[in-house]
Structure formats: structure tokens, C-alpha cells
Amino acid sequence: MKPAGRIGVKEIAKMTNVSIATVDRVLHNRPGVSPATEKKIRAVIRKYNYQPNILARTLATRKTLKLAALIPAVSKETTYWQAPLDGIDEAENEIRQFGIAVEKYFFDLNDAQSFVRQARKILRNKADGVLLAPHFANDAETFSRQLADKQIPFVYINSDVPGQENLSYIGPHLYQSGYLGGQLADFIGGEKSTCLVVNISRIPDSYYYLLKKEEGFRAYFEGRNKVKILKTDIQKTDYPSIKKELTALLNTHKIDLIFVTNSRVFYVARFLEERGMEHIRLIGFDMIDRNIRHLEEGTIDFLISQKPREQAYRGILALYNKLIKGADVEKQCFMPIDIITKENYRFYTN
């Protein structure tokens, strides 16, 4: 006969004729329980779908867990990071009742030292878990080792740093994102087209995640000698500098299609509109306001998006699941690779 309502540790102990302490050992995978008794207890847990009362457990400890989120600040250059910030806020609202606070730390996309300073603050403030966007690969690797040494679980979003002890990576498959860009370029560019890959970032250390997309893009066209691929790395991210670089390239090369590896594709769209060169096909990343405007006007053909809001939301919940519930967390969680057009963007959420 199934007990009325939700069962707890006391009910499991009574049904299996053991002490509450014995049930607790099984629930927390602690030694000291015979295999036969453990098997009996786990059978009851499965039969009645026992779920721990997380709220009661947290209140009983009277401890507030501090999570830290380290992400780029929203800037005039790109509003992309508003979506992950919204995802962090959404997750925090859901788990606040369990005694969890999320402290937000912001760094400048164009200043690696701002990342280092904020990372130091997180260590001083003794966060229990960290969500971070490892934009500067070398500095992120150093910070990751420090977190691992202190046994502080951490989750990457947006881009990954291979070989680290992160709890999880939640974000795009960078190589496959670039490969999809190649497929889209092939679809609209034609067999004998000349494609220009544009990486726009002021800090060379941040090029890792852009170059993985470029690698995927090039891989799609391997063995297709009729497609010519050029590239430019633009390290001055103000519009006049971008305009100067693109002017020099387009004055010396006939370009059919441009693939921009991040959300700053709106700068290229603006340039093409000013030059009256909207016939050049354009593919970029991320559904931010300035990109949407050029998508509506037809200057941008496709945007590739990987749910940045959901990345951050799921990242905070991964830390919650680990720290509060003791649950296993998937090491790699690749987000969907979504193709955004002017026909479907109104029905899409980040």
C-alpha cells in the first residue's frame, strides 16, 4: 500500500525497518550499509519516486550559498551579453528560496586585466560556485586552475577552455557552428564564389573561440577548389577602423560573401549599406537588436544563434544541482544551432 502524500526519510526507514541514519547514508552514498540493506532501501526509493526536500534541507543548514557569475558587461559595441544576464536573473529567481544568492561580476571585452581583477574579487569573496564566460583563454585557464585548487565547482558558457576541471560546458559547438556557416554560404554564394571570413576582436587572446568557428567554416569547403576563402582579423573594434579595413579589402578583391564570426556583424552590414554593396551576401551570429535591423532590411542573410539566455540559465542551475542536490551534471551540453532569418526571427527567443 502506497503511503498517502509525499514520502520522506522517516517513511522509508519505517518501510525498510532500518534507522533514519541508515537511510541517510544510502541517500548520500556513504559507507557502513550492507549491500542487502542498501538494495532494499533503494528499491523503496525507486518505487515511490522519493525526492529530497531541498528547501527543508537548506533551511536546516542555515547557510546561504554564494554563486558568482563572471561575464562581459553589456557595451555600446554589442548588447549580446544582456541575454545571458537575463538568464542568470531568471535562474536566481527560481533558486533564491533555497538560500542561494548570485553575485554578478562584469569585465570589459576589450580589457583582459578587467577579467583578472574580477576573478580575484570572486576568490576573495569565497564563492561556492562560479559561472564564467572564458573570453580570455589564458587568463580563464589560470582562474580555472585556482578554482579547481580550492575545489570550487565552475561552469563555462559561450566558449570552452579544453583540458580544465570545469563541472560543465554549456554553449555552442564552435566548430559545428562554423561548419553550418559554410553550408549556408554554399547555399547562397554559388560554386565559384569568393568568401571573406571576418574576425572582429581587440584582444588576440579572445580569438580562440572565433578561430574554432573559422576552422569549421573552412572545413566545409575542403576539396572545393572553386571556392576561394580570404580572411581578415580586425583588432580595432570601433566602426571607423572596421570601415578602413573593409574598404582596403573590397578595393582589391571581388568578394561575393562575408562570414563574420561573432555578433559584430552589424558593423559589416552598416558598411555594405553605406557603400551600396548589399549584393554581397552576409552571414553572422546572434540575435541582437542592431543585427535584427539589418536582417529585416535584407543586408544580413542569416544569423546563427545558440540561445545565450538559456546557456546562462542552465549554467546557474547546473551549479545548484551539484551543490544543493548533489546531482551529476553533464560535462558538455551543446546548445541547438539555430538559423535566424527575417521571416522567423519574430518567433524566436534567445
pLDDT tens per residue, range 230-289: 999 999 989 999 999 999 999 999 999 999 999 999 999 999 999 999 999 999 999 999
The domain in which residue 41 lies consists of 9-51
pLDDT at 1: 44
Residue 284 shares a structural domain with residue 312? no
Residue 254 shares a structural domain with residue 196? yes
The β-bridge partners of 227 are: none
- Give the pTM: 0.80
Q: What percent of the chain has pLDDT over 90?
A: 68
Structural domain contains residue 347: no
| Greatest mean pLDDT among 2-6, 74-78, 121-125, 345-349 | 121-125
Structural domain contains residue 341: no
Residue 144 shares a structural domain with residue 80? yes
> Is residue 128's pLDDT more than 90?
yes
Q: What percent of the chain has pLDDT over 70?
A: 93
CATH of the domain at 185: 3.40.50.2300
Sequence-distant (≥ 6) Cβ neighbours of residue 181 within 8 angstroms: 213, 216, 217, 220, 259, 283, 304
> Is residue 184's pLDDT more than 90?
yes
Residue 25 shares a structural domain with residue 130? no
The sheet carrying 129-132 orders its strands as 100-107, 65-72, 129-132, 154-157, 168-171, 332-334
Structural domain contains residue 342: no
Q: What is the mean pLDDT of the chain?
A: 90
Residue 105 shares a structural domain with residue 45? no
Range 277-285 contact pairs with CB under 8 angstroms and sequence separation of 24 or more = 277/250, 280/255, 280/256, 281/185, 281/188, 281/189, 281/256, 281/257, 282/257, 282/258, 283/181, 283/184, 283/185, 283/257, 283/258, 283/259, 284/259, 284/260, 285/177, 285/213, 285/260, 285/261
Structural domain contains residue 56: no
> Is residue 310's pLDDT more than 90?
yes
Structural domain contains residue 280: yes
Residue 189 shares a structural domain with residue 285? yes
Residue 251 shares a structural domain with residue 326? no
C-alpha 287/C-alpha 290 separation (Å) is: 8
Structurally, the chain folds into a number of domains equal to 3
Structural domain contains residue 340: no
As a whole number, mean pLDDT of residues 145-174 equals 95
